Structure formats: structure tokens, C-alpha cells
Chains A and B, each alone.
Chain A
Amino acid sequence: MPAARTFKLAVTGTTAGLFSGLFGVGGGTVIVPLLVLWLGYDERDATGTSLAAIFVIAAIATIAQGAYGNVHIVKGLLVGIPAVGGVLAGTWLQQRVRTDVIGLLFALLLVAVAVDLVVS
């Protein structure tokens, strides 16, 4: 693997890791655009590869947060394991509904969450 490419992957990983550790998200918001714009990935490969990276990133971040005593294992599993079933259902639904309209409704929900975070 050429050094320049490894460097780009390292920057992608470090940025995504920082984002993930700071906000408790996977880091896909950072990884996907970097892979597309910087490493010449198409959208599909970027999404798939980012999921593999997120698995590793989330595992490292969970251990790190666990060391601070912040991880609620039972609550995490109660949310995370049903989510797997949800993702499978959501992927199936994707071909059958207007995702652009649902995306718009979801955006409203996120704005509501943001407002709540600011005023609370």
C-alpha cells in the first residue's frame, strides 16, 4: 500500500475516531465523504467500507468510554440488539416507500432534538 494512501486512510480514521469518541456516533458522516472525495470511492463501496471501519471504531471507543465508567451495558444491548432487527426491516422497506419524504420528516425530528438540546 503506497504511503500517500495509507496517510489518507490514517487521517480518515483519526478524524472519524475523534468525531465518534466526542459525539457517540459511528463516524460514517465523516468517513463516507472522505472516501468518496479523497480516495475516489463510489458511494456504495464507501458506505460498505465505512460500516466495517465503524465496527472497529465503535469497539475501541466503547472500551475507552468503559474505562471512564460511562457505558451502561444493559441499556446499550437493550437498544442495540433490537436495532439490528430494525435495520433489516428498514432496508426491506427502503424499496417500498418514499424515502425522500421520510428523510424530510426525520430532518424535522432532528431539528426538534437540536432545539431540545439547546433549550434544556
Chain B
Amino acid sequence: MILAIAMGAAAGVISGLLGVGGGILFVPALTLVLSLSQVRAEATSLLAIIPVALVGAARQYRYGNVRLRDGAVIGALSALGVLGGVALANVLPERALKLGFAVVSLAVAAQFVRRFFRARNTMGGDAQSR
């Protein structure tokens, strides 16, 4: 239980620090540390995302960065996709889900590697170019 709390807090720190969503961290934390199966870790990660997104959205709203109507429309119209995705996650073999998640993890990793080299180039060269 203490491990779960620590994992959650650590995932939150990285999430706030780097601006990534919680899910990319919650899912491996739930499989590796709390030994859930891939589909159960994904399902449980979704629940864990709710408070994080709520607090994050409220903060961003105060800063004037949320276009509430667009956000609500995207959210409401996501339902069909969500149901399809959840149904798929429940019929696909565990192995396929794991491989899919590995691809998503690598894509996010590539984003950070690009960001690192862009930041280095900016510092070394024209500081205005960002």
C-alpha cells in the first residue's frame, strides 16, 4: 500500500515536471509494482487519471488556458472511441496490448530525445530561435 502511494506520488512529480499525462507512468507502475495484468493496469490507470486531470484542468482554467466548450465537446464526443478502445482492449490478447503499449512508450521517449537535442541546439546557437 505504501508502495502504491509512493509510485503515485513519483508518477505525479514526473508528470508535472515534464508535462506528460499520468497514464504512460501509471500503467507500468501498476503492472510492475502492483502486479496487475496489462488490461487491468490500463483500466485502473484510467481511474487514477481522473483526479490528476481534474486538478490540472482547474489550475489551467485559472490561468485562462482552457477553452471549456471545446474541451467539453471533445470529451463528450469521445464516447464512441472510448467504447471501441475499451472493447478492443478486452478482446485483444495480453501480448498484443503489451506490444502496443511498448510502441506508445517508445514514441513518447522519442519525443523527449528530440526535445533534449532541440534545447541543446537552442542554447548553443541562437537563443531567440524558440
Contact B47 A62 (CB under 8 A): yes
Contact A24 B46 (CB under 8 A): yes
Tell me the interface secondary structure of chain A in the complex. helix
Contact A80 B42 (CB under 8 A): no
6 contacts between A and B (CB under 8 A): A23-B23, A26-B53, A52-B68, A56-B76, A57-B75, A72-B36
Contact B68 A14 (CB under 8 A): no
| A-B interface contact total, Cβ < 8 Å | 377
Which B positions have Cβ atoms within 8 angstroms of A? 1, 4-24, 26-30, 32, 34, 36, 39-57, 59-61, 63, 65-90, 97-110, 112-113, 115-116, 119-120
Which A positions have Cβ atoms within 8 angstroms of B? 1, 6, 9-10, 12-29, 31, 35, 39, 41, 44-45, 47-62, 64-66, 68, 70-73, 75-94, 97, 99-104, 106-108, 110-111, 113-118, 120
Contact A25 B44 (CB under 8 A): no
Contact A72 B99 (CB under 8 A): no
In the complex where A15-B81, A70-B40, A110-B24 touch, is A24 in contact with B45 (Cβ < 8 A)? yes
B24: nearest chain-A partner, CB-CB: A25
Q: Among B12, B36, B71, B86, which residue has its beta carbon within 8 angstroms of that of A85?
A: B12
Which residues of A have CB within 8 Å of B14?
Answer: 86, 90, 102, 106
Contact B73 A13 (CB under 8 A): yes
Q: Among B49, B81, B83, which residue has its beta carbon within 8 angstroms of that of A80?
A: B49
Cα distance A2–B3 in the bound complex, in angstroms: 49
B25 nearest CB across to chain A (Å): 9
Which residues of B have CB within 8 Å of A19?
Answer: 81, 85
Cα distance A120–B115 in the bound complex, in angstroms: 29
A6 nearest CB across to chain B (Å): 7
A8 nearest CB across to chain B (Å): 10
Contact A18 B85 (CB under 8 A): yes
Which residues of B have CB within 8 Å of A6?
Answer: 73
Contact A84 B81 (CB under 8 A): no
Q: Among B29, B43, B47, B74, which residue has its beta carbon within 8 angstroms of that of A9?
A: B74
Contact A52 B71 (CB under 8 A): yes
Contact B16 A70 (CB under 8 A): no
Cα distance A40–B43 in the bound complex, in angstroms: 32
Which residues of B have CB within 8 Å of A79?
Answer: 4-5, 7-8, 11, 26, 29-30, 34, 44-45, 48
B19: nearest chain-A partner, CB-CB: A47
